[in-house]
Structure 1
Amino acid sequence: MTRKLTPLASAIVAILAVPQLAAEEIESTSKATLFDDVVVSATRATTLKTGEVPAAMAVVNAEQIADQQVNGIERLVRYEPGVEATGNGRFGGSGFNIRGIERNRVKIMVDGVNQANDYDDGVGFMNSGRNFIDMETLKQVEIAKTPSSVLYGSDSVGGTVAYTTVDPADFLEEGDGFGGKVKVAYLSEDNSFAETFALANRSGQWESLLQYTRRDGNELETNGDVGGDGETRTKADPANTSSDSFLGKVIYNGDIHRVGLTAEYFEDRGDGKLLSQQGETSLGKYEDYSYDDTSKRTRVSIEHDWNKSTAAFDRVSWKLSYQTTESDAESHDIYTSNPSMFNPDPVAQEREKHRDYSEDNWQFNFDMVKQFQTGSFGHTLSYGGDAKFTKMEQLNSNFYEHDGNSQSSYFPEVESTVYGLFIQDQIKFGQLTVTPALRFDSTDIDPKDDPNYSDDMSDVKGPSNEDVTFRLGAVYQINDNWNTFFQFAQGFHSPELNQLYFSGGMPGFYTSSPNPDLEAEESDSYEFGMRYSGDVGSAELVLFYNSYDNFIEAETSYENPLYPYGETQYQNVGEVTIQGIEFKAQWWLDDVVEGLTLDFAIAYADGENDTEDKPLDSVAPLNGSVALSYTDSDEIWGGSLAMVASSKKDESDVSEDNLYTTAGYAVVDLTAYYNISDSLVMRAGVYNAFDKKYTQWNDVDGIETGKVYMDRYTEPGRNVGVSVSYSF
């Protein structure tokens, strides 16, 4: 009898089937490896190469963003197994899923500034995501796959995505006083055009930058071909999209002082027809359903680096930032509710619904670094802290033809104050580097009395949390080519404000109630890995085990006949564990064809809700990527043939028998670039070249099986992209 391999066994077999790397010490060539990218987020205050970090990291640089024609977070992580983008449809990509942990459990930062929370009203009228940045403003994205709470506090219980925006120096050669870039791009997947203009200047010790990007497009296509209205529709709903992105910087580079001022503004707009939501539903009949949404993010930061050797530090850095994020979702329809005890004889009426959400915050960070020696031990001591003040507001405004106007809030105006202090020491002794780190956080939440909120909050005191987290990392350099690493990291995630106070619903149909007694989520993460870097390429094998306590989930009860569609409340549901294995490698095939490179990556994770003894649905099935790339000897032209693949989601690997599961797939992309001159570059790509119809698991997680419209969640079919950029 032939025994069927489990997904984990299949992953291990695939890894072992890879050509064995030479184990003997050999002199490394000058070619860049997987581990030469320099990152800051792993230590916060100092720079390390990824090969020196005691944890798995993924890095996407500006060249990859350009070559892969990245226009959003979906393309950003397309070739990174174990990391997926979340969100689709009307509100687009909203955040990241790292090894099965997603939404606000993954911290997202832009230049070290925390991004606003992902807010979802739960009924489809509002989803204020965290995708408020244009990819053209970025020079690097660092993804930490393990908890980073010891450095960054709450919200990084599942990992961290750190965006770094471009600087004036990225457009200027040494000695240049003036430079910039003009770029035009087109993608057929959403019929979008993008235009970017950047202008940089250097005068003495001063540098400045102004960059603007404009995007215009339509809906992201699906691979479904059924039009019409309602539940039979599989084509994407028609939409118009546009965005404006401004980035400005002024930097003073002195001998010991560096002072920078950054201003950012991003606005995203979308309007369209929600044809798939029209027709008869369980709540009523929807006609002429449309929307008009706007999201904005504004950020101003001032920062100062002082390089001065004192007894307390060699360098001190601080940053003060103000950021405001606003989302306004407007829905328009003609609606006839189903008869109920509250409305036995309903009539059709025009409705307009506004869902407004805003988050304002002030953030202050400071970091100090001191290097010193104690005997045979070298130390890089870093310490610092954060202070963050946040105000969140939410308002529902309804304008009904017959029922009149009304205003309400799902949660009251809430203010939170967070303080954190951390200390970390990189201790090097011979070939071993050990990095212990410790952090203390204090969180105070203060709800305000809000006339639009259902409960009286005038005498309510919000919860206060104090958390201590610890991390211990170690890297042992076996020889010039091999190292091994280990990390234990604790994480925590304070209850989100809408989880504490969310209250609302529709009489006779459904309701949600607050839970101010929620406790913070906590996690323990273990990670072990081996790395190789030599003259045949580089590789990394990682094993991980993560456990989470007090996991917060929305629980729904259907016992109350007054609410046949459920009573929902956020609760601490108990314990969750996620474990898995990841492998990535890069081989230089110059002996076959000079300039040829093979990249391979695969990730497998298994997640369990231990309290209920059920699989954790947010964990993606076994997935991987392989790419064969070529660069000619003069670096004038090159290209890549890449495949992204995923196994199917087994019915035994979802929490309920009635949930939809996805089939396995393999999708092929072909990209190329040509340097027409030193300044002019043309790039082109064909994505999903064989027009494969496929669905990503995270887009359908939680949807019941038996629906006839599932093709509306499919990814775009064969599509193309082209861009031309000119640097001066």
Structure 2
Amino acid sequence: MNKLKFTHTAILLLITYMGTVWAQDEESEDGLKMSHMVVVANKSPRPIKDVVGSVVSFTADDISNIQAENFDDLLRFQPNINMESTGSRFQSSSINIRGIGDNRVAIEVDGVPSTDQFDIGSFSNSGRLLPEIDLIKHVEILNGPASTLYGSDAIGGVVAITTWDPAELVSQTDGNDFYKLRLGYEGKNHSQVATGTGAWQGDAFGGLVSMTHRKGKGINNDDFVDFEQDKLDWDSDSFFAKATYATTNTDLLTVTLQSAKSSLKSENNSLLGEGRQFSNSTQIDGDDETDMMRVSMEYQFTTGLELFEDNVLRIYHLDSETDQRTVDYRTSRGTPVRQNRDFNYQQKILGMEFNSFAQIGRHNLVTGIDFSQTKTKERRDASQTNLLTGDVTHTLLTESFPLRDFPNTTTDELGIFVQDEMELDSNWTIVPALRFDYYHLSPHKDSLYIQSHPNSEVVSITETALSPKFGVLRHFNNNVSAYAQYVRGFRAPPFEDANIGLEIPLFNIRAIPNPDLESEVSDGFEIGVRQGQAGQHFSTVLFYTRYKDFIETKANVGKDPSGTTLIQSRNLNRAEIYGFELSYKTDLQYWSNNLLGWSLETNLAITEGNNLETDQPINSISPAQAIINLGWQNPNKKWKLNLVSTLTNDKTRVDETEAEFYKPDGYVIFDLLTHYQLTKNSDIRFGIFNVTNQEYWRWQDVKNLDPNESFIQAVTRPERNISLSFSQKW
């Protein structure tokens, strides 16, 4: 596909539709989705028509209708927002918004930040703690820099997840309690799920308990793979409990416990014989375990003070541990050996946040302060056993194990912000905001790190930053609103970039810290138009973001006097990302009464990015994509059908100055989703995905792969597959 075709389509849709938008003179407060409330843009509920910024939201019904079992499923019909993958074994690891991913996108669950994602080498990857899909009330995604309200981790955007409260579930029944059982199957990875949820609500006390068990295998793409496929067996168990106590009619105390454990055993056949690292490997087995927990307390309360009218105090603790073991059978100089590798990564976060909301005349004020302390440590161990003699060595590729790749690190972050939505009149609103951030990274060299890197110096980092924001909102008399905004983004240097330690004499490579590493800064500009009336909704966004001091991780910075290649994280002076997004949804009955029950939704995104230092494209950006969703619902709302078409452009703009990368062709796929409401409290959902059995690749899955690697076939997207789920409520 040609990107020019996408651009022409976007312009045609915009011009054609704007004629109908501006021709409408009657206001309609029932505009499709225009009255939908979102929280993420202001940290307090606002109708989407009153929001400055680009927000994508999913309700619990939306999540069920697209038959999502995880966040990869949730985002499959949302262009410009993608899950990033690290391969067959570790699968999806982080969220990419408009080409910015990794830990540059803040993820919050009930206002509590998630743990960081971290990976190093080919055997190590630790993900982030996310709740089970059945527990989610809604998900809101704020596109683009959002550091003013959310701090250092939000230079790329925010994913805000809200879970159910007991009272909200009980309100779906006629009594004081609620129970739900859901069973599901996904053919894309032969996974099965069983979730049980119970909730009750009294006059003051409420409680919710939910447990989920999942198990599955690897990607179902046998039709497209001509070698022995990777074999994965995984299972996970999650537990979620929430207790609420209404201390008064307006004050609510909430305590939440969330835990998740997962294990995965893998036979990584696609790596065998690949490249220099695995050319002599005959068997590679993985055994991975993850254990994560969150405990939080939230108190919503009011005061008699005008400036602190409504308040939220939140205290939280997160604890995550990842242990990944790899056994590699290979030959070394003709001798059969077994290499055992063990990666352990632990992170603990303790934090608090206080937000206050007040309405004073025409001013809607939001103020806040947040503090967090993060402790991170990592350890790698390895051994090699000679299978003929039984001799064991703990030195592999001249690395002596055990070792640490970075010193144990404590990170303290403090943020203070204020935002004022000033209604100048019934049509105009301006939104100035300002945040102050303090960031301190403190490394701790223990005996293991000193033993691993005796000649390595470590650096502490202290950073402060001011992140302003200014937005303008204009309401017109035909239910049209337009906005423009400027947002400063900020990201302090993370521990893995500040003090990464690595020395492999065999390859003459040494990683060194960078005491001069600066914080990343972005300047984002965005203009958007929204229109909603009975039966249809339209929005379009143009955005441009310029980045300064963007951190390039583990860059080759030359050689020292002895000829050793030096690896160091460094700042790139300038980069830019810009693009266009369009969304249009209509009930087709709006155009013809003969189309009762039919709907059409279209989403389009085109994004480009350039490294202004080298005049090369940015490789983390996904190709242009359009999603077309044709839906039907019968009059009694028992049946729902959706035919979804995903059109993705070729990936052509790639920086290949250092190496050549695989560039997947564009593709068109179709998915068919059905929903049948058996009774008021039970339903069945069935889907057929990749209906035409199209072989295709997502750019985010292959963006770092050599075009000659056979491993590329291992990450082909699933062949034609089905999804089936049944739920029953009492």
The TM-score bracket by the shorter chain reads over 0.9
Per-residue CA deviations over 1:522-573 (Å, capped at 9, x if unaligned) read: 0000000111111340100110000000011135439669999964321112
Separation in 2 of the partners of 1:528 and 1:197? 44
Q: 2:423 aligns with which of 406, 424, 428?
A: 428
Deviation at 1:447, TM superposition (A): 0.7
Aligned to 2:32: 33
Aligned to 1:719: 721
Aligned to 1:384: 368
Per-residue CA deviations over 1:294-320 (Å, capped at 9, x if unaligned) read: 112100001111123313311111000
Aligned to 1:56: 54
After TM superposition, the structure 1 = structure 2 runs for residues 576-725 of structure 1, keeping only pairs within 5 Å, are 576-590=575-589, 591-650=593-652, 658-725=660-727
After TM superposition, the structure 1 = structure 2 runs for residues 225-244 of structure 1, keeping only pairs within 5 Å, are 225-228=224-227, 235=229, 237-244=230-237
Q: Which one-letter code corresponds to 2:244 in the other structure?
A: I
Instruction: Tell me the SS of whatever aligns to 1:320.
Output: strand
1:271 maps onto 2:265 in alignment = yes
Aligned to 2:397: none
Deviation at 1:583, TM superposition (A): 0.5
Deviation at 1:592, TM superposition (A): 3.3
8 Å Cα contact 2:88-2:714 kept in structure 1: no
Separation in 2 of the partners of 1:652 and 1:313? 51
8 Å Cα contact 2:109-2:130 kept in structure 1: no
Separation in 2 of the partners of 1:4 and 1:98? 19
Instruction: Tell me the SS of whatever aligns to 2:139.
Output: strand
After TM superposition, the structure 1 = structure 2 runs for residues 292-441 of structure 1, keeping only pairs within 5 Å, are 292-337=287-332, 347-373=335-361, 378-401=362-385, 402-405=391-394, 406-430=401-425, 431-441=427-437
Aligned to 2:99: 100
Separation in 1 of the partners of 2:705 and 2:325? 25
Per-residue CA deviations over 1:258-304 (Å, capped at 9, x if unaligned) read: 10000000112111101112236414511221000011210000111
Gaps of 5+ in 1: 338-344
Instruction: Tell me the SS of whatever aligns to 1:358.
Output: strand
8 Å Cα contact 1:224-1:714 kept in structure 2: no
8 Å Cα contact 1:446-1:462 kept in structure 2: yes
Aligned residues: 707
Q: Which one-letter code corresponds to 1:616 in the other structure?
A: I
Separation in 2 of the partners of 1:200 and 1:540? 38
Separation in 2 of the partners of 1:588 and 1:316? 39
Separation in 2 of the partners of 1:601 and 1:290? 41
Change beyond 3 A, Cα 1:349–1:617: same
Per-residue CA deviations over 1:441-491 (Å, capped at 9, x if unaligned) read: 101111112222234699966110001100111211011421111111001
Separation in 2 of the partners of 1:255 and 1:151? 29
Q: Which 10-residue stretch deviates more, 639-648 or 124-133?
A: 124-133
Separation in 2 of the partners of 1:154 and 1:321? 18
Aligned to 1:259: 253
Deviation at 1:707, TM superposition (A): 3.4
8 Å Cα contact 2:557-2:568 kept in structure 1: no
Deviation at 1:602, TM superposition (A): 0.3
Instruction: Tell me the SS of whatever aligns to 1:210.
Output: strand
1:193 maps onto 2:196 in alignment = no
Instruction: Tell me the SS of whatever aligns to 1:411.
Output: coil
Deviation at 1:703, TM superposition (A): 2.2
Separation in 2 of the partners of 1:642 and 1:6? 20
Q: Which 10-residue stretch deviates more, 449-458 or 601-610?
A: 449-458
8 Å Cα contact 1:26-1:535 kept in structure 2: no
Instruction: Tell me the SS of whatever aligns to 2:679.
Output: coil
Deviation at 1:517, TM superposition (A): 2.5
Relative to the length of structure 1, the TM-score reads: 0.92
Aligned to 1:340: none
Separation in 2 of the partners of 1:551 and 1:258? 42
CA RMSD of aligned residues (A): 2.4
Instruction: Tell me the SS of whatever aligns to 1:90.
Output: coil
Per-residue CA deviations over 1:582-602 (Å, capped at 9, x if unaligned) read: 110101111232121100010
8 Å Cα contact 2:54-2:143 kept in structure 1: yes
Relative to the length of structure 2, the TM-score reads: 0.92
Deviation at 1:117, TM superposition (A): 1.3
Deviation at 1:144, TM superposition (A): 0.5
Aligned to 1:143: 141
Separation in 2 of the partners of 1:422 and 1:280? 50
8 Å Cα contact 1:190-1:221 kept in structure 2: yes
Separation in 1 of the partners of 2:607 and 2:485? 18
Separation in 2 of the partners of 1:113 and 1:652? 36
1:248 maps onto 2:250 in alignment = no
Instruction: Tell me the SS of whatever aligns to 1:658.
Output: coil
Q: Which one-letter code corresponds to 1:481 in the other structure?
A: N
Q: Which 10-residue stretch deviates more, 654-663 or 189-198?
A: 654-663
Instruction: Tell me the SS of whatever aligns to 2:707.
Output: coil
Deviation at 1:683, TM superposition (A): 0.5
Change beyond 3 A, Cα 1:603–1:280: closer
Aligned to 1:156: 154
8 Å Cα contact 2:587-2:600 kept in structure 1: yes
Separation in 2 of the partners of 1:146 and 1:604? 14
Q: Which one-letter code corresponds to 1:508 in the other structure?
A: L
Gaps of 5+ in 2: 386-390, 395-400
Separation in 2 of the partners of 1:709 and 1:566? 28
Change beyond 3 A, Cα 1:559–1:423: closer
Q: Which 10-residue stretch deviates more, 703-712 or 493-502?
A: 703-712
Q: Which one-letter code corresponds to 1:498 in the other structure?
A: E
Aligned to 1:498: 496
Deviation at 1:175, TM superposition (A): 6.0
Deviation at 1:6, TM superposition (A): 7.2
Change beyond 3 A, Cα 1:568–1:316: same
Aligned to 1:342: none
Change beyond 3 A, Cα 1:11–1:508: farther
Deviation at 1:132, TM superposition (A): 3.9
8 Å Cα contact 2:459-2:498 kept in structure 1: no
Instruction: Tell me the percent identity.
Output: 26
Deviation at 1:142, TM superposition (A): 0.6
Instruction: Tell me the SS of whatever aligns to 1:195.
Output: strand
Change beyond 3 A, Cα 1:456–1:154: farther
Q: Which one-letter code corresponds to 2:231 in the other structure?
A: P
Q: Which 10-residue stretch deviates more, 689-698 or 17-26?
A: 17-26
Per-residue CA deviations over 1:381-403 (Å, capped at 9, x if unaligned) read: 11110010110000112233244
